[in-house]
Amino acid sequence: MNQHKNDFLLANSNYLLNHSVGRPLKTAEDAFKESFFAPWQHSGKEPWGSWLDIISNFQLALSVLFNAPAEQFCPQVNLSSSLTKIVMSLASLNKEDVVILMSEIDFPSMGFALQKALPKSAKIRFIDKSLDITNANVWLEHLNKEVDLVFISNAYSNTGQLAPVHEVISQAKELGVISVLDIAQSAGVIPLNLQDVSPDFMLGSSVKWLCGGPGAAYLWVNPNIVEQCQPKDVGWFSHENPFEFDIHNFSYNQSAMKFWGGTPSITPFALASHSIHYFASLGASYVRAHNQKMIDLIVDEFDAEVISPIQRETRSGTVILNFKDKQKVIMDALGVANISVDARHLGMRVSAHIYNDADDIQQFIDVVKQNYS
Ligand SMILES: Cc1ncc(COP(=O)(O)O)c(C=O)c1O
């Protein structure tokens, strides 16, 4: 048995839905009780000291995983509201006719947030969904001095593609274009070193490959731009001294924490920080190597049905398969066999994590083959 299988609560299923929600660690519940609940339960004093330690621990876990100082990460509720906060914070985006570049296959919520948060005259230029988003030239043909902000996702969940983030972010830097990197689908499974790839902003969550549950999103702000940011959605925890309590004086925290807001939520971050530490100590390269081996097993069997990239350099942690008119029958049979996958318009999404092994993949292959003739 795979050595990591025993670390997670897998509920007796062959779970291949890690692009959606990762499974919890077996230790998650006890760790949560100890960090969040025990200080509240056992002390007659208010537990904020212990609760804020949870946030520091969350920042620390991210700092190890992405190789950047802890204070450059600010807890967020989700990516959409974080993106709203970013664009509203920059004077250079709050003028007439700003131009945003993103892909038509980006997660729709990101487009919704940009449309509503930016002034009405803002134009979003979508890279057409028919174009190959893994090809740096496609991006570079669209990225020019007219663009004010480029939004790029590291991985795209419906196509299983990776974007050329190095090239795009470097070009954006050269042109003076603001860059925002979405790592919702890649955090934990695609290595990312913020000392090598350095966007202006990076947004992520903990719910998918990091197995940390919903509500524990984060925003990383490049120190080169943090001073220019003047978030509108603020509260006392965005203040440089939350306990100053002078209603006439608001003064931004100097770090990314200026994006924090009012009284923070803590519970999601208690769960997530425990899990992110686990993955930070494994390292994303290790997780990716295993995930890619599992994808190879599927590609070897169904190369004609794989519609996500075959080349490792351009494929994410998810393999997308299209079994055409047999898709529904196969999905039903997988459900009966307790093999968890899902489907979007392009095909079936299959995402193997560190706790899946070759036996899981073989079981998936067997069920598909029995129903695909
Ligand atoms: C690429 C990408 N970005 C963002 C999100 C989620 O955004 P939010 O946290 O606002 O729900 C997802 C969710 O699946 C995603 O795949």
Alpha-carbon gap, residue 348 to 327, rounded angstroms: 8
Residue whose tokens read 């120190």: 223
What domains can be seen in the chain, in order of their start residue? 5-19+284-370 (3.90.1150.10), 32-281 (3.40.640.10)
Q: How far is the CA of 151 from the centre of ligand 1 (A)?
A: 13
- Antiparallel, parallel or unpaired: β 178-182 and 201-204: parallel
Q: Which ligand 1 atom minimizes the distance to the CA of 82?
A: 10
Q: How far is the CA of 109 from the centre of ligand 1 (A)?
A: 7
Q: Which of 106, 109, 133, 351 to mutate to test the pocket of ligand 1 (most atoms within 8 A of CB)?
A: 109
Give the pLDDT of residue 2.
80
Q: Which of 110, 189, 203, 316 to mutate to test the pocket of ligand 1 (most atoms within 8 A of CB)?
A: 110
Give residues (CB < 6 A) around ligand 1. 78-80, 107, 109-110, 153, 157, 182, 184-185, 205, 217
Which parts of 146-225 are beta strand (E)?
A: 149-153, 155-156, 161-162, 178-182, 201-204, 217-221
Q: At residue 49, what is the residue type?
A: G
- The pLDDT of 337-354, averaged and rounded, is 96
Q: Which residue puts its alpha carbon closest to atom 7 of ligand 1?
A: 79
- Antiparallel, parallel or unpaired: β 14-15 and 339-340: parallel
pLDDT tens column, 42-52: 988 999 999 99
**Mean pLDDT, the chain, integer:** 97
Q: Is the pLDDT of residue 373 over 90?
A: no
Backbone phi, psi, residue 153, to 5°: -100, 140
pLDDT tens column, 354-364: 999 999 999 99
Alpha-carbon gap, residue 193 to 99, rounded angstroms: 28
Give the pLDDT of residue 58.
98
**Residue 115 CB neighbour total at 10 angstroms:** 12
SS3 content of the chain, % helix, strand, coil (to 5): 40, 15, 40
pLDDT band with cut points at 50, 70 and 90 for residue 19: very high
Q: Is the pLDDT of residue 315 over 80?
A: yes
pTM of the model: 0.97
Give the pLDDT of residue 165.
98
- The pLDDT of 132-158, averaged and rounded, is 97
pLDDT tens column, 90-128: 999 999 999 999 999 999 999 999 999 999 999 999 999
Backbone phi, psi, residue 158, to 5°: -90, -15
Q: Is the pLDDT of residue 237 over 70?
A: yes
- Antiparallel, parallel or unpaired: β 201-204 and 155-156: unpaired
pLDDT band with cut points at 50, 70 and 90 for residue 3: confident
- The pLDDT of 146-167, averaged and rounded, is 97
Q: How far is the CA of 10 from the centre of ligand 1 (A)?
A: 23
Lowest mean pLDDT among 10-14, 22-26, 166-170: 10-14
Q: Which of 21, 79, 105 to mutate to test the pocket of ligand 1 (most atoms within 8 A of CB)?
A: 79
- Antiparallel, parallel or unpaired: β 347-351 and 342-344: antiparallel
pLDDT tens column, 264-309: 999 999 999 999 999 999 999 999 999 999 999 999 999 999 999 9
Q: How far is the CA of 221 from the centre of ligand 1 (A)?
A: 18
Give the pLDDT of residue 1.
66
Q: How far is the CA of 158 from the centre of ligand 1 (A)?
A: 12
